[in-house]
Every structure is written in structure tokens, then in C-alpha cells.
């Protein structure tokens, strides 16, 4: 495969992955029981969440505490190898999730031997170079419930002498405890008075509120219990990847997915190291791309994990003409204007910079100011002006990072991104800051500035470039996706990971252009609909896009809902929270009714705290929250609400079924490795994590598949989606090169309507598969009528119905689709081309 973004010819290339969340709800041995079902479904690769040892009680595995052990709770190394053997015996392969950016700071810390060693020995620890922390000062441990003086006075700290499980060979050790927290005591300090002992450690115990302003280790975003590691150090890379690479070399692992590369000092070089260490394996990067942003072409990866495809598939089913009516509805309920999105984003990012990520931004500002202070040509730039310009620049950065590499000229597109952001930032700043902004951009673009010129031997200049991009990614994630997306309620389906909520719908031509580019540049990238990180599952988004296809009906429905619940409504119900509540209700309402009150309330609690307006995680307004939760629970129980929502559900049921099928068919046939998140082969009501990691009824799914395979006709949307998913997965398994290879092709088909998205997937210049999918079915006047699509020459057989079609001429869409959302046709090799 002579393509820069395909793995080595000898390496495995996934075709269709099935994501399993290994953890409390699914052990390795339990996953073995699923192998026959996944094989029947048509899966080629079982894609596992992180398998390394995670912190106690972990439900996701991204809080790794040991890189040299497989999760004991999931079954340990023996359990994993049994699973891998079973998967391989069934003709499938294993993809594993890698977490290179951070490790857990668990409670107690001794679960993480590397962190424990650094806290105990400081610079003398063999792990001193592992963590991205300033070792010239004590490591801040902000875990106290009160200020340190009060904690000491209350005798809440205790010195004890006992063994710790991770170091049994050392026998008893002197330890400092604070409730469930346990910390090591530096050699020779155990007999000091408590206040002096605390002062002499390599760490500093502090009140938890100190973290935002003074934390001196880089985190995963703003999560204090996830400490960043320096995987750019060759020794750290070797030690943290040794076990996974050993399992890869032994044939137990076949490919990798890499978590959050934006947090790394140099993602490109990390991927180069991983690619080299694996002999150029298939590697996917969990890279969130904004809008029309593309992956850097010099990253040796197969592509992304698919968010770039997912948001486009949702937007394809959003009617652009509904932007104004739904915007008016948002303004009435929440008070937000349809034009206010940029300001909401800027406000949210500014709030994150000033609060939870203040320590990271201040650390970067002090670094840059220090460079200025030591340079006679730059020393008149004040710390305050540097911070204000830095704050403004980060707010205006439209992407996670600009891909500037220290020691290399900044790429033209990177330069444009930073300079444009600086220009926008200056419109919000005092004009006197223009020269400081010019200095800032020069430093961050590695341009010649000050006395040092282009001297890259100044480590601080290198560090400034690196930390700026790490901070930008964290602010983008926390400020936009974890704050602004909860405040912006225009259409919840568009506030998804990697989405562009300001793009209210896209056309089939836009999707075709994106898909053609993917096939040419990233033929083995991933596509997805739902993941463990999506804020709403694919089917919830499909229900929500119907509000754009039926905007008048939705406005009337919402008005009725508000009217019948007016007597239940809290007097201080915040508008954004209310609008989100109603959209969540419609997004999760099925023929069986609403989701449970527990799930509904859990979601709303997370949503309003992530909004960070009237309540937060660190300062919750529990009284006002409880009033919201009482209202939400009452809404679910109200018979009038049930009547109104049932009417909505019945009125939109046909459009929903078509939208769900169309979206799934497109996701599974567009260029790339198609990922199916556990359980999404049938419809789900999944919301943001941890809701989307609920236990899946795999036995029920297997029984449904058996029924369909026995010839039964689908009687529900679950069965329709499962039948479609299995048919396409099996087709992909039969024709892997048609879907994932450098020889694969993608060609749009002529249609007479913007309500159809049709294309071929082929090999070289020969089409082998045709996808015909519905778009905006809910606003289609009078049904399909005389709308047509032109099939390629040849004889084509529907993979579900078995019906054959003659190509080279127009076919009526109503004949191809009927009441279905998509038709997948396979070239009938037994017939002569027409």
C-alpha cells in the first residue's frame, strides 16, 4: 500500500471496528462470550477501551496507574490474552486504546508507583523526568478540605508506620495520612514536628481551592487527578509503551487508537516514534478537528477517530431553513440570540482561562515574561500586558493547536491561524497592547524577536511554543465543548464533540467533497456515530434533528409542554437549562416513553454544572438544582406531557426511522474504517458519559440478529437498524478493499433532488457498491414523487431485499427506498453489465 497514511503492507488494516468498554460492566472473559455475536454481525476488529491498570474504581480506564500491568479488575494479562486468542480464532483482530498523555493521581497515591516515588524522593526519584511538573518546587497536592493551617490545628494529619501494597519489599514505611489520602514521608523527616515535617516534603499539601491558581503540574484539561507525563522523553515513551508493544509484537494487539494527542508536547514526533516502534502499524488519532480543519499531512497516522465525519452526518439531516424559527424559539426560552454564538464561546473560554485553567495560563505568561525580563530589548513588556494579550489570543484561537514545532519554520497555515486570532483579539483589547501582541505572536511562531533572535538554544522559547499549544487545546476543550456547548441551545444535535454549531446544516455536495478528500488523503481514517465521549448518542441526535425538519410542529409542541407544566415550574428556572431539558426530553423519548428519572436528573446535573453560570461543580447551588430536578421528575410523570410527547413521537416516527437508517448507512459506507460503538447496532437513548457507558443487552441484540437471519421481517426500528448494520458490516467484510484501501474509490451519483445523497464505492475505476440515502425526509413535500437517482451501468442487487436494479438509467427513489432510509446495492457479478 503505497500511501503515506496507510500502514505497512504487512500490517493489519481494520475494516469495521466494534468498540467495547472494558471495565466494571464488561470483563475480558465476558467479552469472550460476545465474540460469536460480533463475528455474526460482520465485525472485523474488536476495539477495546484502555486495558492497562487503572485507578481504583475506574469506570473508563483512562486514569492509568501502571503501564506494566493489564487491568486486574478486567482479568489481568491472562484474561486479555484469552480474549485476543478468541478474537483471532474467530478471524477478527484487536485494536487497543493507548493513553500517552497522562496518568492518574489516585487515592491513595501509592496505587501509582511512579507518582509515589516522585512525591517521596523528588529529583532523586528514577521517575523524576516522567511528569510534566516543575521539580524546583514542591509538587502541589490540593486535596485538603480546609486550609493547611486549620488542618494541622485540627490534627487531621497523622504520621503512621505501615506497609503499602505496591512496595511490599520495603516493609513498613513512614506515611502521612489525611482521611483516605496517604502520602510518603521523605527519609529522615518522620520525627520532625508536624508543621516542619509538612514543610520538608517534596510535595505541598493544600486546600483544594488552591489548585486553579497554583497547580504546578500539567493536567488532562483541568482534571487535577490526571497528571500529564512527558512522553516526548524517549525513556518515558519506552517505559510507558513497553507492555503494549510487547503484546503487539507477540500478535495479541493488531492496531492502536491514541487518546488525546493534542495534550502532547509534539504529537507528530510521538506518532513517528509509535509508528517506528510498531513497524508502521495502523494508528488512529483521537484528534478533534474544527470546521474544515484537516489533520497535518506529516502525522504518520491513518486518520482520526471519526468526529469529523460524525458531525457532518448529523448536519446533513438538519434543515438550514429552520435556523431562524428555531433561533427565535431559543431566544424566547433562553434569551440567547441566534447571532450570539461567537460571544458565548468567547465568554466561556475567558471564564475557563480565569478559573479552572488559570494556573496553566499564568505559568505560560510567567515563562514569556521571564524571557522578556532577561532580554534588554524586551524587558519593557509588562507581565500584565503579556497576560492580557495571551488571554485574548487563546480566546480567539479557533482550533486545538496550530502545529508549530520549535526549531522549524511555522507552516503558512499555522502562521495564518495565529495572526488572524491575534488580529481578532486586538479588537477586544486596548490599542496600546498591539506591540505586546506582536511580540507574543513572534515568540509563538518562532520568529526572530529580541536580542536572542532565532537562537533555539533558549529552552524557555521552546517551552513557550509547546505550552501555548497545550493550553490552547485545554481551553478549547473545556471552554467550548464542556461549557459553551451546554449554554448554546439552538439545536442540541449540533453541539457535539468536534461539531460546528454555527454551521446549521450542510448539503450533499459538501458531504461529497469531504468524503472524496478523505478517500484521497486518509483512506483508512475512522468514521463514527457514537463514542464513549459523545455528548449525545447518534439516535438522540437523530431525534433532535427532527425539530429542524418539523420546526412549526416543534414550536407548538414546546409551547404546549410549557403550558401544561406551568404549575410545576420553579420560579427561578433558568432559560438555558429549561431549553436543554425540553430538547433532552424529545431526544430520548421513544415509543416506550421517557428515560428514567434517575438518568434524566443525572444528565441535567452534569449539564447545568458544565454551563458554569448559576451553578458549578466546585460551587453547586444545590437548592436551585434540586428545584430543577423536582421539576424534571414531575415532567416525566405528568400525563399531559406524556400525551403531548406521544403525539410528537407518532407524528415524526416515519421521519425518525428514515433518518436513523440513512445516517447509519452513510456512516458505514463513507470512506474509512467504520466504528460501531457498543449497542448502537440498535437504537439507543444514550447521553453524555457516564450514561453512554451503561451495560448493553448483548444477549438481546444477539437474539434479534438470530431472528432476522432466520428470515423474519423487521417489526421495529431496532430491528431495522440492526438488519441494516449487519448487512453493511458483512458487505464490508466481503469487500474490504472497496471500503478501506488506496485502491478504493468514491464517486457521487447524479440525483434529481437535494433530499437524496447517493454515491458509489469501488475498486480502482469500477464501482462495486452503491449507497442511496434519504436526506431531510421530514420536509419532503408529497413524498418522493418523481425524484430519481442514476445508477452506474451494470446489474445491482439490494443487500437487504435481494431486489435487482438495472444501472445506466434513472431509477425512482421511491422504488429504491420505499419507506426505508437507505438502500445499499452490490454489483451483481453474475449478470452482464448493461
| Comparison of pLDDT for 217 and 340, the residue scoring more | 340
Report whether pLDDT(456) > 80.
Answer: no
- pLDDT grade for 631, boundaries at 50, 70 and 90: very high
pTM score > 0.85 for this model? yes
What pLDDT sits at residue 833? 46
What pLDDT sits at residue 705? 98
Which of 684, 643, 423 has the alpha carbon at shortest distance from 537? 684
Report whether pLDDT(163) > 90.
Answer: yes
| Comparison of pLDDT for 216 and 570, the residue scoring more | 570
pLDDT (average), residues 830-834 = 52
Report whether pLDDT(834) > 50.
Answer: no
CATH number 3.40.50.1820 given to 16-101+231-305: no
pLDDT (average), residues 46-51 = 98
pLDDT digits (tens, 9 = 90+) for 388-412: 999 999 999 999 999 999 989 999 9
What pLDDT sits at residue 671? 98
- pLDDT grade for 452, boundaries at 50, 70 and 90: low
Give CA–CA dist 182/109, Å, rounded: 6
Name the CATH topology of 307-324+506-523+534-550+655-672+688-834.
Immunoglobulin-like (2.60.40)
Task: Write down the residue that cell numbers 484521497 correspond to.
Answer: 520
Whether the Cβ atoms of residue 315 and residue 494 lie closer than 8 Å to each other: yes
What pLDDT sits at residue 831? 56
In sequence order, what DSSP letters do the residues of 217-268 get, joined into one string? Answer: B-EETTEEEEEEB-TTSHHHHHHHHHHHHHHHHTTS--EEEE--GGGSS-HH
What pLDDT sits at residue 221? 73
Give CA–CA dist 762/747, Å, rounded: 8
pLDDT digits (tens, 9 = 90+) for 122-149: 999 999 999 999 899 999 999 999 999 9
Domain ranges (residues) in the chain: 16-101+231-305, 109-226, 307-324+506-523+534-550+655-672+688-834, 344-471, 555-651
pLDDT digits (tens, 9 = 90+) for 244-288: 999 999 999 999 999 999 999 999 999 999 999 999 999 999 999
pLDDT (average), residues 458-481 = 95
What pLDDT sits at residue 224? 79
What pLDDT sits at residue 47? 98
pLDDT (average), residues 700-718 = 97
Instruction: Select the CATH number that applies to the domain covering 555-651 from these four: 1.10.10, 3.30.70, 1.10.20, 2.160.20.
Output: 1.10.10
- Establish whether domains 16-101+231-305 and 555-651 are of one fold: no
Give CA–CA dist 303/295, Å, rounded: 7
What pLDDT sits at residue 455? 52
pLDDT digits (tens, 9 = 90+) for 282-291: 999 999 999 8
Residue percentage of the chain with pLDDT more than 70: 99
CA atoms within 13 A on the CB side of 421: 26
pLDDT digits (tens, 9 = 90+) for 531-545: 999 999 999 999 999
What pLDDT sits at residue 783? 84
Cα separations (Å) of 633 from 597, 608, 637, 642? 6, 16, 7, 13
pLDDT digits (tens, 9 = 90+) for 416-435: 999 999 999 999 999 999 99
What phi-psi label fits residue 418: left (phi over 0), alpha (psi between -120 and 50 degrees) or beta?
A: alpha
Sign of CA dihedral 725, 726, 727, 732: positive
Bridge partners for 181 per DSSP: 178
Three-class DSSP category at 293: coil
Q: What is the mean pLDDT of the chain?
A: 95
CATH class of 109-226: alpha beta
Amino acid at each position: 500500500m503505497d500511501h503515506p497514511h496507510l500502514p505497512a503492507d504487512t500490517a493489519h488494516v481494520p475494516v469495521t471496528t466494534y468498540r467495547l468498554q472494558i471495565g466494571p460492566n464488561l470483563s475480558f472473559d465476558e467479552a469472550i462470550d460476545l465474540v460469536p455475536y460480533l463475528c455474526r454481525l460482520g465485525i472485523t476488529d474488536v476495539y477495546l477501551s484502555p486495558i492497562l491498570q487503572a485507578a481504583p474504581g475506574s469506570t473508563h480506564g483512562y486514569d492509568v496507574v501502571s503501564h506494566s500491568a493489564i487491568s486486574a479488575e478486567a482479568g489481568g494479562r491472562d484474561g486479555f490474552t484469552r480474549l485476543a486468542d478468541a478474537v483471532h480464532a474467530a478471524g477478527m483482530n484487536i485494536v487497543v486504546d493507548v493513553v500517552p498523555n497522562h496518568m492518574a493521581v489516585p487515592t491513595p497515591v501509592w496505587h501509582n508507583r511512579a507518582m509515589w516515588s516522585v512525591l517521596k524522593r523528588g529529583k532523586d526519584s528514577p521517575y523524576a523526568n516522567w511528569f510534566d511538573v516543575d521539580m524546583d518546587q514542591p509538587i502541589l497536592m490540593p486535596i485538603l478540605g480546609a486550609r493547611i493551617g486549620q488542618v494541622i490545628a485540627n490534627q487531621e494529619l497523622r504520621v503512621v508506620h505501615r506497609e503499602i501494597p505496591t512496595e511490599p519489599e520495603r516493609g513498613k514505611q513512614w506515611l502521612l495520612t489525611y482521611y483516605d489520602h496517604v502520602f510518603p514521608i521523605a527519609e529522615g523527616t518522620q520525627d520532625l514536628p508536624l508543621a516542619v515535617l509538612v514543610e520538608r516534603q517534596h510535595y505541598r499539601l493544600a486546600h483544594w481551592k488552591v489548585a486553579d491558581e497554583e497547580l504546578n503540574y500539567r493536567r488532562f484539561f483541568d482534571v487535577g487527578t490526571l497528571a500529564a507525563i512527558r512522553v516526548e522523553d524517549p525513556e518515558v515513551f519506552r517505559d510507558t509503551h513497553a507492555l503494549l508493544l510487547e503484546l503487539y509484537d507477540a500478535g495479541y494487539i493488531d492496531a492502536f487508537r491514541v487518546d488525546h494527542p493534542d495534550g502532547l508536547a509534539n504529537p507528530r514526533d510521538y506518532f513517528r516514534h509509535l509508528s517506528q516502534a510498531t513497524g508502521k502499524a495502523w494508528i488512529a488519532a483521537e484528534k478533534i478537528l474544527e470546521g474544515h480543519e484537516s489533520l497535518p499531512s506529516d502525522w504518520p497516522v491513518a486518520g482520526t477517530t471519526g468526529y469529523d465525519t460524525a458531525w457532518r452526518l448529523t448536519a446533513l439531516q438538519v434543515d438550514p431553513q429552520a435556523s431562524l424559527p428555531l433561533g427565535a424559539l431559543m431566544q424566547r426560552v433562553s434569551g440567547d440570540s441566534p447571532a450570539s454564538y461567537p460571544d458565548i464561546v468567547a465568554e466561556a473560554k475567558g471564564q475557563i482561562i480565569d478559573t479552572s485553567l488559570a494556573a496553566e495560563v499564568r505559568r505560560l505568561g510567567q515563562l514569556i515574561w521571564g524571557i522578556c525580563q532577561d532580554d534588554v530589548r524586551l524587558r519593557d513588556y509588562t507581565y500584565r500586558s503579556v497576560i492580557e494579550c495571551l488571554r485574548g489570543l487563546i480566546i480567539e484561537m479557533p482550533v486545538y493547536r496550530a502545529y508549530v514545532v520549535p526549531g522549524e519554520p511555522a507552516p503558512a497555515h499555522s502562521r495564518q491561524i495565529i495572526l488572524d486570532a491575534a488580529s481578532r483579539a486586538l479588537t477586544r483589547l486596548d490599542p496600546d497592547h498591539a506591540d505586546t501582541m506582536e511580540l507574543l505572536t513572534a515568540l509563538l511562531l518562532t520568529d526572530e524577536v529580541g536580542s536572542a533572535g532565532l537562537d533555539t538554544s533558549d529552552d524557555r522559547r521552546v517551552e513557550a511554543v509547546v505550552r501555548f499549544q497545550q493550553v490552547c487545546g485545554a481551553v478549547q476543550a473545556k471552554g467550548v465543548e464542556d461549557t459553551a456547548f451546554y449554554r448554546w441551545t439552538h439545536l442540541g444535535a449540533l453541539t457535539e464533540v468536534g461539531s460546528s454549531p454555527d454551521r446549521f446544516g450542510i448539503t450533499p455536495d459538501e458531504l461529497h467533497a469531504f468524503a472524496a478528500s478523505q478517500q484521497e488523503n486518509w483512506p483508512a481514517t475512522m468514521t463514527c456515530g457514537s463514542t464513549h465521549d459523545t455528548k449525545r448518542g447518534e439516535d438522540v441526535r437523530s431525534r433532535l434533528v427532527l425539530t429542524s425538519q418539523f420546526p412549526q410542529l416543534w414550536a407548538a409542541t414546546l409551547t404546549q409542554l410549557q403550558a401544561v407544566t406551568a404549575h410545576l415550574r420553579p420560579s427561578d428556572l433558568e432559560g438555558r437549562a429549561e431549553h436543554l431539558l425540553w430538547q433532552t426530553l424529545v431526544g430520548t423519548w421513544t415509543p416506550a416513553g421517557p428515560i428514567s428519572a434517575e438518568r434524566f436528573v443525572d444528565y441535567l446535573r452534569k449539564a447545568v454544572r458544565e454551563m458554569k453560570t448559576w451553578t458549578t461543580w466546585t460551587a453547586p447551588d444545590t437548592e436551585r438544582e434540586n428545584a430543577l430536578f423536582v421539576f424534571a421528575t414531575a415532567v416525566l410523570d405528568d400525563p399531559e406531557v406524556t400525551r403531548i410527547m406521544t403525539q410528537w413521537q407518532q407524528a415524526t416516527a416515519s421521519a425518525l426511522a428514515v433518518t436513523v437508517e440513512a445516517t447509519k448507512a452513510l456512516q458505514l459506507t463513507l470512506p474509512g474504517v467504520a466504528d460501531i460503538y457498543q449497542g448502537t447496532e440498535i437504537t439507543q437513548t444514550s447521553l453524555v458519559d457516564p450514561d453512554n457507558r451503561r451495560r448493553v443487552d448483548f444477549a438481546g441484540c444477539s437474539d434479534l440478529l438470530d431472528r432476522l437471519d432466520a428470515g423474519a421481517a423487521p417489526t421495529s426500528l431496532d430491528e431495522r437498524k440492526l438488519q441494516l448494520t449487519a448487512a453493511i458490516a458483512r458487505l464490508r467484510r466481503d469487500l474490504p478493499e472497496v471500503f478501506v484501501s488506496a485502491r478504493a474509490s468514491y464517486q457521487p451519483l447524479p440525483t434529481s433532488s437535494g433530499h437524496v445523497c447517493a454515491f458509489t464505492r469501488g475498486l480502482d475505476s469500477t464501482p462495486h457498491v452503491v449507497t442511496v440515502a434519504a436526506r431531510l425526509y421530514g420536509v419532503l413535500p408529497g413524498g418522493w414523487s418523481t425524484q430519481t437517482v442514476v445508477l452506474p451501468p451494470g446489474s445491482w442487487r439490494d443487500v437487504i431485499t435481494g431486489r435487482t436494479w438495472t444501472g445506466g438509467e434513472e431509477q425512482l427513489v421511491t422504488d429504491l427506498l420505499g419507506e426505508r432510509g437507505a438502500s445499499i446495492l452490490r454489483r451483481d457479478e453474475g449478470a452482464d453489465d448493461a
